[in-house]
Amino acid sequence: MVTTVGTETDIKSLVRDLIILEHDAIAAYETCIENLSDKSLATQVAAFRKDHQQHLDVLHEMARELSFDPPTSGDMKQVLTTGKVALAGLMGDATILKAMKTNEDDTVAAYRRAADHGDAVPKSKAFFASALADEERHRAWMDSTAASL
């Protein structure tokens, strides 16, 4: 699924949509961890989930600085992100990681666009670039690990 996060015209909408995206990602990570049969893979995925939780903490701080209450959950996309991971669980760990990789494609695209957003100040651009690096690392690990299973 292709995300539109990062195409918002103002910074408040961008931060709000990134928060929702992070909630969706965390839910997918939890589903992934529950469904992986290889516990060493689950341990690595849990470390990646922690990165997403840290991103969420920073985004919540940004929301406070921008004077709005951050969303406290994901949206309907969460059903799709978690559902495809749960369904992939029926086919094994490689398929689960491939499903998670497609979720990471969305977060990579979102943070790539956010890092270039016209309303982002240098501090937020630096965070978006750092989050992008995390997402690219997650995606590469999922892709290479799935291919090796």
Q: Residue 87 is part of a domain; what is its CATH number?
A: 1.20.1260.10
Domain assignment present for residue 121? The answer is: yes
Cα 147 from Cα 149, distance rounded (Å) = 6
| pLDDT score at 41 | 98
| pLDDT score at 1 | 59
Domain assignment present for residue 110? The answer is: yes
Residue 92, phi-psi category: left (phi > 0), alpha (psi -120 to 50), beta (remainder): left
Nearest to 108 by CA among 74, 132, 128: 132
Q: Give the chain's mean pLDDT.
A: 91
Domain range holding 43? 11-148
Domain assignment present for residue 6? The answer is: no
| pLDDT score at 73 | 72
* pLDDT tens, position by position, 72-81: 876 555 555 6
| pLDDT score at 91 | 72
Which parts of the chain sit beneath pLDDT 70?
Answer: 1, 74-90
| pLDDT score at 80 | 54
Q: How many structural domains comprise the chain? A: 1
| pLDDT score at 77 | 57
